[in-house]
Structure 1
Amino acid sequence: MVELPEAVDVVNIGLPLFESALRSQGQPVIGVDWRIPGGGEPRIVAALARLLGPGTDRIDRANAEVLRRLDEGVPMLVGIDRAGAVIEGMGERDILHCGPAIAWEDMPDPLQRSVRAAVVAEGWADDVDGAGGLVEAGEVHLRPANEHRTVVPMATSIGPSAPVYVVHDEAGSSTAYSSINQGSGAVQWFGVDSDAAIDRLRFVRDKLGPVLAEALATNGPVDVFALAAQGVPMGDDVHMRVQATTNLFLRDLLPSLVRSTHAAAAEVATFLSANHLMFLNVAMAAAKSLVEWASEVPDSSIVTTMSRNGSTYGVRLAGGGDWFLAPSPPVQDALYYPGFGPETSAPDIGDSAVLELVGLGGPAAANSPAVAGFLGGRMSHAIAATRSMQRICAGESARFRLPILDNVGTPLGVDVRKVVELGITPAVNTGIIHATDGSGQVGAGVAWAPLGCFVDALLDLDRRLA
């Protein structure tokens, strides 16, 4: 007769229900997060077999070059200029919006409000009703900012008179642009089209932009990622939380700002002192300049575009060019302002997910107590988010380091093969805005990208490399 052991050590592979049942009984168990590759779907499994088998060397060589460009490029903030004067292909009746291309009638309410506010700020209409009429009549053209080397956060849209950051990476000869952050409150980038939100757009254009442009011209170019590399150990993920890096940025500009002779200098200083999100847009433009350079590499499985318009979520691969779309998801791990919740919230929106592609945002969550607050409150939860990104990335950053993880580099280069094989999608740290009433931000959290667009991108890569 065989004697049964008095104690059993358990390693549970997949099926987390078994793991949780043992834990509830006080039994020690090690859980292994294993999933059937590609969900077991034959055509996906076959594509993975080719791209992780015979195609591996070719793809890995391309990926190594993509990682080099993402990690070694040095994006410099070189100035601020009028969008219509510097953004290639932007016409004088164009509005650039976040996310993939979308028709006016398909835009969610917050993005429509943003477009109307931008049209009024441009002076093309007297009020938001007239602005909507111009768009419906085809007298204003709507274009994705991403297709013009431009990225804008949340529900932002910009017209040709809007001031934009100009960021240049000399190594890749790539230049990218982003709007100037409008600050907190009931503002256009949170899907608000009130008179006050439109006045804020005019303030950014007529006062904030010129004062900052003058300060940058006096100060000289700013090494954007050198500041971000300092901000990450100070608790920033440089997406949801950018307070430390914003302070470093304004510290560098301070001597030039106090010497400004612009009539609005004092008003601008007051605004800057209260806008802890100022550096977000600068970092986005820097990230865009690097992914634009990286996108020129053929045969790569690295994602170089990840963007949302509040209706669809789009990704593109290096060397590809085509968009692959899925419905934009809700922000799953969220904290809401009192009185709000999932039922009042718009789906995930904005171009800021470009930061997750260069080692910031979700990849840097582990060292950010602010991000931990949205994932359960413990640093172990934030570390788990970074660990999740490690599993789907091709490398790690040499410049963004995580002290809490023994100074390991943040995960870098989302690899579509790993995403589809493991069924783990990128985590994007983001804000949440009201779905319908134009009241603005109602919370913040972590949004997990939908899997479908990555599957389609993988199948296209398999087809292209056949």
Structure 2
Amino acid sequence: MSQINTLFSQPLKVINIGTSTFKKDLDLQQTEAVQYDWRPPAGGNLELIEALDRFMEDPKVQAANEEAIKRIKDAHPFLIDIDHAKNVIPGMHEKKILHSGPPIAWENMCGPVKGAIIGAVMYEGLAEDEAAAIQLIEKGEIEFGPANEHQAVGPMAGIISPSMPVHVIENRTHGNRAYCTVNEGLGKVLRFGANSKEVLDRLKWIETVFAPALRKALAITDGIDLKSITSQALHMGDECHNRNKAATSLFYREIIDYFLQTDLTADELREVVGFIKNNEHYFLNLSMPASKSALDAAHGIPHSTVVTTMARNGVEFGIRVSGLGEKEWFTAPANFVKGLFFPGYTEDDAAPDLGDSTITETMGIGGFAMGGSPAIVQFVGGDVEDAIAYSEQMYEITVGENTNYSIPTLNFRGGAFGIDIRKVIETNILPVINTGMAHKEAGVGQVGAGIVHPPKACFDQAMIRFKELYEEETS
């Protein structure tokens, strides 16, 4: 009894496990307490727990995942050309338009995606105005498809139409290619659903002036090494998703001498070079296909639980997994981004999570590398400590560390990469994504930026499907 009396006469130091309500009561009593947010593995779902028991230590899975991250790490993407989408993207034709995220029908698309598609139809000369474009679409004249199923990616609405110029990225290690449009810059742009004359005129300028000039410059090169630029930029404060100041500057330094060697006039040169110089996000549309080319090389490895695609279309978030089908998506309703809003906008104005740019996080940069990009918190919210904590947490749900993309603030530790659906389910930790927020209405543009996570249901579905596909081989 005396021991109990002694215990209760001492100051309490409490670890509260589970619901935080009890800690709030302790806080009110000024009692020192630490909150431990414990949840059972797989959220207590018995089917998922059985799948984890079956595959968590499976040597076939371990070997497949090591092969997957080896392919991702060894990939070496180069920018080698720029050409019309219809000339280079597999499966493209005159009436096909690609969009971001998993597959979705026209009637279910969000406002920015619909607005961007309408703009693309007019840009292609298939309709004179918005009403005619909608009529053409509703008659079923236009075929849609996810860019990710065609070796391509696109930011926000992610629209790629046949005549649009796309960067051609070659992964010289594995021989595959990936494609992405040219970043339009800020303001009213197609990727946010704007489709005014101003927007379409800019797209035509990119097609008829900028792209031919860049193609001339690239023809002189042996390709621009995007892996090297990304690695350097991560040491200069970029994370190569929402912050690309250093990467764009490094690309500008690489390409400028080749522009000077072309037959462009002084006025043409000033115009095309100025377009890159004044667009800090230019490299995003190189970072994305560079990541895509590496991850595509790791797709299709039997028994691998590594995620090779994360993408969203403003309605659903979707993932694909290396050891599952080429067109097998696992989807759930997209979450809303939490972060900082531009003046005059609130949560009520924002569309759900949108765009293919999560390919950077799938690669292990972007949100995964925020710890090395302290300035990003001024854009997405939070503190520098939060950014570092996010980067550190991602090691718990990944297969390896990519020493090619090291993080200075973590003592140059290789960035976490190779998202493993097993570890996501076991730990209840979801990949972190930093991203811009689009207005829910077409054409308004970006209304803020912040942090978002994929729906856990995507990973649950993928794990159940993995169990169905491979359990007979391990029984």
What TM-score do the two structures reach when normalised by structure 1? 0.95
> Taking every aligned residue pair, what percent have the same amino acid on both sides?
39
User: Are the equivalent residues in 2 in contact too, given 1:375–1:382 (CA < 8 A)?
Assistant: no
Partner AA of 1:152 in structure 2: G
For 2:309 and 2:73, locate their aligned partners in 1 and report how far apart those are by CA, in whole Å. Answer: 16
User: Are the equivalent residues in 1 in contact too, given 2:256–2:273 (CA < 8 A)?
Assistant: no
Off by >6 Å, runs of 4+ in structure 1: none
> Is the aligned partner of 1:136 residue 2:138?
yes
Query: For structure 1, which runs of at least 5 residues remain unmatched after alignment?
Result: none
- 2:218 alignment partner in structure 1: 216
Counterpart among 392, 397, 419 of residue 387 in structure 1: 392
Residues 341 and 31 of structure 1, relative CA distance in 2, 3 Å threshold: same
- 2:53 alignment partner in structure 1: 49
- 1:308 alignment partner in structure 2: 312
> Could you give the per-residue CA deviations for residues 391-413 of structure 1, whole angstroms, max 9, x where no partner exists?
21111111111111111111101
Offset, 1:296? 2.4
- 1:235 alignment partner in structure 2: 237
- 1:404 alignment partner in structure 2: 409
For 2:269 and 2:17, locate their aligned partners in 1 and report how far apart those are by CA, in whole Å. Answer: 61
Aligned pairs for 1:267-416 within 5 A = 267-321=271-325, 322-332=328-338, 334-374=339-379, 376-416=381-421
> Could you give the per-residue CA deviations for residues 214-246 of structure 1, whole angstroms, max 9, x where no partner exists?
111123311111101111121111001011001
- 2:112 alignment partner in structure 1: 110
User: Are the equivalent residues in 1 in contact too, given 2:238–2:373 (CA < 8 A)?
Assistant: yes
Query: For structure 2, which runs of at least 5 residues remain unmatched after alignment?
Result: none
User: Are the equivalent residues in 2 in contact too, given 1:191–1:433 (CA < 8 A)?
Assistant: no
Offset, 1:373? 2.6
Offset, 1:25? 5.8
For 2:124 and 2:186, locate their aligned partners in 1 and report how far apart those are by CA, in whole Å. Answer: 22
Residues 173 and 371 of structure 1, relative CA distance in 2, 3 Å threshold: same
Aligned pairs for 1:196-211 within 5 A = 196-211=198-213
> Could you give the per-residue CA deviations for residues 55-102 of structure 1, whole angstroms, max 9, x where no partner exists?
x21111100000101111111111111110111111121111111111
User: Are the equivalent residues in 2 in contact too, given 1:362–1:389 (CA < 8 A)?
Assistant: no
For 1:462 and 1:32, locate their aligned partners in 2 and report how far apart those are by CA, in whole Å. Answer: 31
Residues 149 and 11 of structure 1, relative CA distance in 2, 3 Å threshold: same
User: Are the equivalent residues in 1 in contact too, given 2:113–2:442 (CA < 8 A)?
Assistant: no
User: SS at 1:92's partner residue?
Assistant: coil
Partner AA of 2:115 in structure 1: R
Aligned pairs for 1:80-95 within 5 A = 80-95=82-97
Residues 373 and 180 of structure 1, relative CA distance in 2, 3 Å threshold: same
Counterpart among 153, 156, 162 of residue 155 in structure 2: 153
Residues 109 and 44 of structure 1, relative CA distance in 2, 3 Å threshold: same
Counterpart among 168, 171, 178 of residue 180 in structure 2: 178
Residues 24 and 184 of structure 1, relative CA distance in 2, 3 Å threshold: farther
- 1:244 alignment partner in structure 2: 246
User: Are the equivalent residues in 2 in contact too, given 1:363–1:390 (CA < 8 A)?
Assistant: no
- 2:99 alignment partner in structure 1: 97
> Could you give the per-residue CA deviations for residues 359-395 of structure 1, whole angstroms, max 9, x where no partner exists?
1111101111232235644210101211232221111
User: Are the equivalent residues in 2 in contact too, given 1:77–1:221 (CA < 8 A)?
Assistant: yes
Partner AA of 1:191 in structure 2: G
For 2:379 and 2:44, locate their aligned partners in 1 and report how far apart those are by CA, in whole Å. Answer: 32
Length, aligned pairs only: 463
For 2:381 and 2:442, locate their aligned partners in 1 and report how far apart those are by CA, in whole Å. Answer: 29
For 2:86 and 2:148, locate their aligned partners in 1 and report how far apart those are by CA, in whole Å. Answer: 15
